[in-house]
């Protein structure tokens, strides 16, 4: 018996959203997309998808709506209002928000969508542009088990690690913790890079051996070439990590959890952004360490 795949509307075709939507097209899904950039819509069409002229047009008739936009304000902008998802998607639609936003925004969205008969999962991802391109993302999900089970084939076309973390908002809470760990890890790597170079050590050799021991990490493996070449083309921008550090700082304060190292790194991310590096990859935290060490960058 042939099973018909759900029809998908994809909202947000940025650095992450474009390759992710294309993986679904390759997996056989009918994908209609909408984003603000015309060239991204043309890319979707070239990949076999359908370009829509608005959010409302994209979601009408969809079985599943996936959003992948920068932050809470953008999620609210595409979800609410007369042209938004909740007013134009049909009852029974599954809305999967894969953006990284505040847990409270996810909880509120699920409640509002429920009144329209729309089911919701918050499903932020980790892995950056490379993870999206290679379909090896880690996907942390909040919501109901039955909705998670229905969405699993979609998630498995996009990522390698897919976990239901708890009720609505749980996925975003875990993503906040992820961003805390990643930022602290990048900062530690950046400090090690400057220390090693100042000490006259062969940096490539040093990073290779560190990567093979307890100091090794996905962050070091993914960002090693950025550090070696000083290529900070954005895979995940400082601007977005600044937003995420604000989320985790606020969420930790709400629950009474101390994150002293995280608070310091949040300030270092904010400082780098204030110096005009917000559009660079988060591995550019190395530039902040170099400036603190007296280098002109």
Average pLDDT over residues 212-237: 96
Predicted TM-score (pTM) of this structure: 0.93
163-187 per-position pLDDT tens digit: 999 999 999 999 999 999 999 999 9
DSSP readout, 141-166?
Answer: EES-HHHHHHHHHHHHTTEEEEEEEE
- In this prediction, residue 257 carries a pLDDT of 97
User: What pLDDT band is residue 1 in, cutting at 50, 70 and 90?
Assistant: very low
Would the CA dihedral through 239, 240, 245, 251 be positive or negative?
A: positive
Share of the chain above pLDDT 70, in %: 99
What would the two tokens of residue 95 be?
């809305």
User: What pLDDT band is residue 2 in, cutting at 50, 70 and 90?
Assistant: very low
- In this prediction, residue 276 carries a pLDDT of 97
Catalytic residue among 7, 116, 175, 224: 175
38-89 per-position pLDDT tens digit: 999 999 999 999 999 999 999 999 999 999 999 999 999 999 999 999 999 9
| Residue appearing with tokens 């952004």 | 273
- In this prediction, residue 62 carries a pLDDT of 98
CA distances in angstroms from 294 to 41, 270, 288, 290, listed in the order given:
44, 19, 10, 6
* Catalytic site includes residue 175: yes
Average pLDDT over residues 190-207: 98
| Residue appearing with tokens 């007296």 | 294
| DSSP-derived secondary structure letter, 167 | S
């Amino acid at each position: 018996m042939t099973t018909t795949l759900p029809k998908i509307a994809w909202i947000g075709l940025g650095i992450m959203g474009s390759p992710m939507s294309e993986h679904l097209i390759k997996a056989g899904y009918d994908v209609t997309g909408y984003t603000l950039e015309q060239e991204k819509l043309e890319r979707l069409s070239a990949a076999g998808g359908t370009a829509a002229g608005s959010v409302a047009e994209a979601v009408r008739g969809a079985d599943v709506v996936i959003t992948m936009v920068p932050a809470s304000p953008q999620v609210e902008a595409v979800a609410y209002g007369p042209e938004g998802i909740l007013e134009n998607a049909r009852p029974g639609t599954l809305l999967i928000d894969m953006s990284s936003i505040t847990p409270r925004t996810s909880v509120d969205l699920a409640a509002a969508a429920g009144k329209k008969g729309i089911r919701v999962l918050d499903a932020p991802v980790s892995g950056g542009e490379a993870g999206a391109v290679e379909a090896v993302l880690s996907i942390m999900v909040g919501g109901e088990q039955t909705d998670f089970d229905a969405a699993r084939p979609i998630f498995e076309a996009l990522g390698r690690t897919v976990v239901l973390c708890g009720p609505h908002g749980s996925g975003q809470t875990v993503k906040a913790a992820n961003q805390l760990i990643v930022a602290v890890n990048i900062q530690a790597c950046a400090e090690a890079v400057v220390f090693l170079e100042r000490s006259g050590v062969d940096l490539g050799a040093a990073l290779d051996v560190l990567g093979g021991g307890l100091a090794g990490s996905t962050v070091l493996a993914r960002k090693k070439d950025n550090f070696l070449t000083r290529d900070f083309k954005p895979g995940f921008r400082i601007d977005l990590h600044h937003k995420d550090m604000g989320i985790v700082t606020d969420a930790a304060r709400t629950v009474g959890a101390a994150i002293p190292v995280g608070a310091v790194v949040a300030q270092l991310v904010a400082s780098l952004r204030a110096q005009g590096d917000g559009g660079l990859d988060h591995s550019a935290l190395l530039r902040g360490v170099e400036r603190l060490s007296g280098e002109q960058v």
